Amino acid sequence: MSRENPGCPFCIIDSTSFVAENDSCFAIRDGFPVAPGHTLIVPRRHVASFFDLTADEKQDMVSLIDDVKLDIEQSQSPDGYNIGINDGEIAGQTVMHVHLHVIPRRAGDVTDPRGGIRWILPTKAPYWNDET
């Protein structure tokens, strides 16, 4: 594992924690999961923004999504997934080493799942409801 930034929690992860990996990225369970099986896909190189990754690193991140999905399904029975990246402090990024969230979802885990990630801006989320 790269030790590019020893102050970064993703730069010091031991490979025994990996649930999947490829040339430039690895996947680990989220340390603060919002759902059982919540997994992060992280590039080995310390880069803050997805937009600063190389094309190969971006492809490696995306290609691990299928591996992570298979891994989650071995121990969980999700009904769906949210997949996303918080890029920048204003977007909610708290660890400034880019990482992609794969969050398993289950029927009934929220009252009304419509809108999914749109709820980051609650006034914009219920676009299907003319009353808002």
Residue 22 carries which side chain, given as an amino acid letter? N
Strand locations in the chain (E): 20-21, 25-29, 39-43, 80-84, 100-105
Residue with token string 């803050």:
48
8 A C-beta contact, residue 53 and residue 89:
no
Catalytic residue among 38, 46, 97, 99: 99
101 part of the active site: no
Catalytic residues: 99
